[in-house]
Amino acid sequence: MAEKEKNEFVKQVAEKKYEFGFTTDVQTDIIEKGLNEDVVRLISHKKGEPEWLLDFRLKAYEYWSHLKQPTWGHVHLPEIDYQAISYYADPLAKKPKNKEIDPELEKTFDKLGIPLEERLALSGTAVDAIMDSVSVKTTFKEKLREKGIIFCSIGEAVKEHSDLVKEYLGSVVPYRDNYFAALNSAVFSDGSFVYIPKGVRCPMELSSYFRINARNTGQFERTLIVAEDDSYVSYLEGCTAPMRDENQLHAAIVEIIVKDNAEVKYSTVQNWYPGDEQGKGGVLNLVTKRGDLRGVNSKLSWTQVETGSAITWKYPSCILRGDNAVAEFYSVAVTNHYQEADTGTKMIHMGKNTKSTIISKGISAGHSQNSYRGLVRATPHADNARNYSSCDSLLLGSNCGAHTFPYMDIHNDTAVVEHEATTSKISEDQLFYCNQRGIPTEQAVGLIVNGYAKEVLNKLPMEFAVEAQKLLSVSLEGTVG
């Protein structure tokens, strides 16, 4: 491509705005900024929580207040002023009477492509739509209930299925786990609760859609998924946020419990606001996600497409406790402009004959930094543990970085662990081949990148895969120079 033409193209894309950057003008009930014990009590009170949960929050707060923000990641996490954030924002508080949802909110979710009217919804997907700290609506709740499946916001679950929540909350990610887990445990707001009873195969995809709207708030959602023996569920998660000059904080926890012969598929398409091309603003995505494969023959698969957020720092992990458990991690992480990502997974093999697969594809462009960090541990009892990891990085542009930090701790002689990684740029030969056949460079890059990420995209449910593919091309257009 002629240099001029190329520059023109780059400019066009650079000027392309984040598609979901609008704000919703809805009256939101926001509590005072700042974090202290009273705020924790207030959140608990607003949500009408039982005593045990308030205790849990207070203990977490007490623990958190003695911790320091960690710095070990390969990201430049700014010093966050935790007193400048409001920890609870409720867009539903002032809804018009005799209406279930504020029409503004409904419009917002429509615009995001998430219709809350069940008749309009994509067939076969139930949605829990969450804005700021509150779940706006959960669709297909009744239909699912017929099968005994519980799918609702965690706030609702605390009220209606208190015993279940009490049993599992914090059992996979205890509040002492890490700094952001402690923070989340103290102030968490809505998220989804999923319970699949024994022997039930969930008939539709369950999904949550997270949206940050209010200014100077953070989102601290908490998701808890319990799959009883012989059950199956596929769960999707999507997220967006408006464009703001300041960083927004997102510190979530996802806990998954998988019992005997059960299978859970968890897919994420993360498209938080990444900040502008100067690296200003954007969401700080600091999430703890972990699955506990407690049962024999249990299976958990994480699939993630990470295109958004100024900083992504998360490691969706699996504890393979049950014998013959199988865990998978598929990830595509794209960073552009000044985005930074330090993401990967942890596979802790504890049961016998456990198996895990890690496929990670990093794509960095602009001035971004993209790191894979992963841990594979085979404990002394994990006989015949098997792991295969493959991490590939693609560099588009000379100012970006791609890094790989795999850790392997092997304490068992029957474990077989393999790791391989490569880093390279798009090959000139492939580009030339496409050009020669009349495919312009930027399309060729799109083609090659999509092919490169295919292994992971194929693992996504169909609707998501289409979205992810589009997202990938938008995030990367014009990065080849």
**Closer residue to other proteins (CB): 91 or 478:** 478
Cα 291 → chain centroid: 13
Q: Which residue has the tokens 């997974």?
A: 345
* Pick 38 or 420: Cβ nearer other proteins: 420
Question: Is 73 or 275 the residue whose CB approaches other proteins more closely?
Answer: 73
What is the rounded distance in angstroms from the CA atom of residue 193 to the CA atom of residue 207? 11
Smallest distance, other proteins to C-beta of residue 329, A: 17
Tell me if 52 sits within 8 A of 158, measured CB to CB. no
Inter-CA distances, 380 with 376, 383, 407, 409, 417, Å:
13, 7, 17, 11, 14
Q: Which is nearer to other proteins, 255 or 392 (CB)?
A: 392
- The CB-of-376 to other proteins minimum distance in angstroms stands at 9
Of 422 and 458, nearer to other proteins (C-beta) is: 422
Buried b (16+ CB within 10 A) or exposed e, 340-351: bbbbbbbbbbbb
Q: Which residue is associated with the tokens 């990420």?
A: 453
The 3-state DSSP class for residue 39 equals helix
Place of tokens 């552009």: 336
Q: How far is the CB of 256 from other proteins (least distance, A)?
A: 27
Backbone angles phi, psi at 24, to 5 degrees: -105, 130
Q: Tell me how far apart the alpha carbons of residues 145 and 149 are, in angstroms, rounded to a whole number.
A: 5
Cα–Cα distance measured from residue 335 to residue 178, given in angstroms and rounded to the nearest whole number: 25
Q: In whole angstroms, how close is the CB of 401 to other proteins at the nearest point?
A: 4
Token couple for 417: 């662990």
DSSP state of 205: E
Closest distance between other proteins and the C-beta of residue 70, in Å?
A: 11
Which positions lie near other proteins, rule CB under 8 A? 72, 74, 380, 393, 395-425
Shortest distance, CB of residue 378 to other proteins, whole angstroms? 8
If the CB atoms of residues 79 and 413 are measured against other proteins, the closer one turns out to be 413
Q: How far is the CB of 305 from other proteins (least distance, A)?
A: 22
Instruction: Evaluate whether 131 touches 105 at the Cβ level (below 8 Å).
Output: yes
- Number of helices (H) and strands (E), helices first, in the chain? 11, 25
Alpha-carbon span 103 to 77, nearest angstrom: 37
Tracing tokens 């995809």 back to the chain, one arrives at: 205
What is the nearest approach in angstroms of other proteins to the Cβ of residue 229? Answer: 31
Smallest distance, other proteins to C-beta of residue 197, A = 39
Contact 323, 383 (CB under 8 A): no
Taking the C-alpha atoms of residue 195 and residue 149, their distance in angstroms, rounded to an integer, is: 6
Which residues are paired to 221 by β-bridges?
A: none
Nearest approach, Cβ of residue 181 and other proteins (Å): 19
Least distance to other proteins, CB of residue 430, Å: 15
- In the bound state with other proteins, the residue whose beta carbon lies nearer, of 148 and 401, is 401
Nearer Cβ to other proteins, position 222 or 377?
377
Scanning the structure block, which residue is given the tokens 């299978």? Answer: 263
Decide whether 83 or 427 has the Cβ nearer to other proteins. 427
- Nearer to other proteins by Cβ, of 109 and 313: the residue is 313
Would you say 197 or 397 has its CB closer to other proteins?
397
Closest CA to 129 of 209, 28, 193: 209
**Alpha-helical segments (H) within 374-440:** 428-436
